[in-house]
Structure 1
Amino acid sequence: MAMEAVEIERMIRDAFPNADVEIKDLAGDGNHYAATVVASEFTGISRVKQHQMVYAALKGKMDGPAGELHALALTTRAPAAPQTEG
């Protein structure tokens, strides 16, 4: 069973309400997506932990062969710090 991009985005936004989230369907099959998530919750956290946080937000939808989402290429980062003039 495939997932729609809007469902993936909703689940991520539920966990990270102020995040910038972009989802792309890579193969047009509802199983292979790329997601970019920029969230302040990622500040000071390793990329591995950031990815784990996003996977947790998907609540098991990627778990094993019975998962609804087969592949998700993740790009995560904290927002850039505002530049100050000095």
Structure 2
Amino acid sequence: MAMAADEIERLIRQGIPDATVEITDLAGDGDHYAAKVTAESFRGMSRVVRTRRVYEALGGRMGGELHALQLVTAVPEGV
């Protein structure tokens, strides 16, 4: 069963409360998404650690309910 974009956003924001999350359905099938997650709490973390934090927030759904997620993580600019 596919995940809805709003559920992905909810899970990420629950796990990373300061995150701004932008979700795009890449194929229109509810199975392939892109996400841009921006959070001040990412400052000083490597991309690998940021990615790990997002996957942890998704609670093991990657590869199951959530088939594919193209992920970009960032810290807010100008801070």
TM over 0.5: yes
Q: Find the counterpart in structure 1 of residue 12 from structure 2.
A: 12
List gaps (5 residues or longer) in structure 1: none
User: For residue 62 of structure 2, what is the aligned residue in structure 1?
Assistant: 62
Q: Counterpart in 1 of 2:75?
A: 78
Q: What value does the CA root-mean-square deviation take over the aligned residues?
A: 1.0
Counterpart AA for 1:20: T
Partner of 2:2: 2
Q: Report the Cα distance in structure 2 between the residues aligned to 1:3 and 1:25, rounded to whole angstroms.
A: 11
Q: Name the amino acid aligned to 1:73.
A: Q
Larger Rg: 1
Counterpart in the other structure of 2:29 = 29
Q: Percent identity?
A: 59
Q: Secondary structure at the match of 2:77?
A: coil
For residue 73 of structure 1, give the secondary structure of its aligned residue in structure 2.
Answer: strand
Aligned residues: 79
For 1:18 and 1:45, the matched residues in 2 are separated by 15
TM-score normalised according to structure 1 size: 0.87
Amino acid of the residue matched to residue 81 of structure 1?
G
What amino acid is aligned across from residue 75 of structure 2 in structure 1? A
TM-score normalised by the chain length of structure 2 = 0.94
